[in-house]
Amino acid sequence: MLINSAWCLVHDSNSIVAKILKAKYFPSTSLWTAPAYVPKSAFWASILSIRHHLENHVTIQLIEGNTSIWNQPWCPIWKEMHARLNLEQNEYLIPSKVSELWITNSKMWDTNKIITLFGQQTLNILLQIHPIAGNGPDILCWKPASNGICSSKSAYRVLATEETMTRPPAGVPLQVVQILRGVWADKTIQPRVKTFAWRLLRLALGTASRVHRIISAINENCSRCGNLEDEKHLFFECSYARAVWFASSIGLRTDALSSSGRGIHTQIATILQQGQSQASAGMIFSIMWCLWKSRNDHRFNNKDWPIARVLHEAKAIDRAYDMGLEEDAISDHNHRIIPNANCVKNFL
């Protein structure tokens, strides 16, 4: 989504957001060369952090040649153009746009000018770039998409093929990555439950102990039993959580689960490996999500959920989405066969 946002800023430079950001952060240059050392908002810092992904997968189709030589990714060596410039020559004025490197009234590279300004190696590289016939401004294109337009879906597919997705991120156990891949691939799990699972396994939930490390005024103990509240305690060690698991269709005794290292992926993997039909990933994370919701209601609203409510909501969440998918499939099937039935009826 950030890559798509950055794309929108450079593809539609006349938008209000693009004009505001340019005026504040790069008034005399472009997004591609905007400095990263100035004080910045969280959004702009995020854009800068993914700028290299966008740069690596765009190209500029040269039509009119109105692209800046110095601050836009128009050729493979565009960042080196300043260093290659021969400042000692006085035969040519320093160009600013790509069209100024073409022979006048044509779209052929001016070899003498390029050699004088930037050297023979630069000329050899530029000769591999062929301007497009026709009229109109140069076009920024997203190379991975056939239509040249960047979308969040297209950007995700690009990232999914890079090393950041083929190998576990640094510090993330392989077991966590395997569980998350299974969760994302399971189409019967609600998207909001998948998001919760990601936050849980990546240690991003705002448990009391984690928030206490940032805001010391926050009580780091469990609102129910008074013990230190981390993921392990909240979902498996608290007496309330233990009662929920034991009363569930899984019939789990959490005190028998092994635990090691940070996080709770070991316990989750153990439950998944039990092989019971009730111990599906969808049911497990639905129960944990309802435990999280009941914890928030108890902590912030002083409302105590009965154990039965946790289990009923978890079962409803797990089954409702699955049933919805089944109904959609049946509806699609009926829509496909009804025209054929009408044709037969009319024929008879």
Determine which of 98-112, 219-233, 315-329 has the lowest per-residue pLDDT on average: 315-329
The 3-state secondary structure of the chain reads CHHHHHHHHHHCCCCHHHHHHHHHHCCCCCHHHCCCCCCCCHHHHHHHHCHHHHHHCEEEECCCCCCECCCCCCCCCHHHHHHHCCCCCCCCCCCCEHHHHECCCCCCECHHHHHHHHCHHHHHHHCCCCCCCCCCCCEEEECCCCCCCCCHHHHHHHHHCCHHHHCCCCCCCHHHHHHHHHHHHCCCCCHHHHHHHHHHHCCCCCCHHHHHHHCCCCCCECCCCCCECCHHHHHHHCHHHHHHHHHCCCCCCHHHCCCCCCCCHHHHHHHHCCCCCCCCHHHHHHHHHHHHHHHHHHHHHCCCCCHHHHHHHHHHHHHHHHHHHHHHHHHHHHHHHHHHHHHHHHHC
**Dihedral (CA of 20, 6, 81, 137) sign:** negative
Determine which of 1-15, 21-35, 172-186, 264-278 has the lowest per-residue pLDDT on average: 264-278
CA angle 66/31/152 to nearest 5° reads: 105
| Sequence spans of domains, the chain | 2-159, 170-327
Q: Is the pLDDT of residue 30 over 50?
A: yes
pLDDT at position 343: 43
pLDDT band with cut points at 50, 70 and 90 for residue 172? confident
Among 79, 27, 23, 28, smallest CA distance to 51 is for 79
User: Whole-angstrom Cα distance, residue 210 to residue 225?
Assistant: 18
Q: Which residues contact 202 (CB under 8 A, 6 or more apart)?
A: 172, 176
pLDDT at position 280: 87
User: Whole-angstrom Cα distance, residue 77 to residue 345?
Assistant: 68
pLDDT band with cut points at 50, 70 and 90 for residue 314? very high
Q: Is the pLDDT of residue 31 over 50?
A: yes
Among 148, 125, 128, smallest CA distance to 138 is for 148
pLDDT at position 346: 44
User: Whole-angstrom Cα distance, residue 197 to residue 73?
Assistant: 39
pLDDT at position 181: 87
CA distance to 32, 180, 200, per residue, from 61 (Å): 17, 39, 44
pLDDT at position 170: 63
Residue 47: CB atoms within 10 A of its CB come to 21
| pLDDT tens track for 246-295 | 999 888 898 888 766 566 888 888 888 876 666 788 999 999 999 999 99
pLDDT at position 277: 60
Percent of the chain exceeding pLDDT 70 equals 87
Determine which of 17-31, 108-122, 188-202, 333-347 has the lowest per-residue pLDDT on average: 333-347
Assigned token pair, 339: 């025209």
**Dihedral (CA of 294, 267, 202, 186) sign:** negative
Give the mean pLDDT of 16-21.
95
Give the mean pLDDT of 102-108.
94
CB 61, CB 139: distance < 8 Å: yes
Whether this prediction's pTM lies above 0.85 is answered by no
**Dihedral (CA of 292, 295, 300, 302) sign:** positive
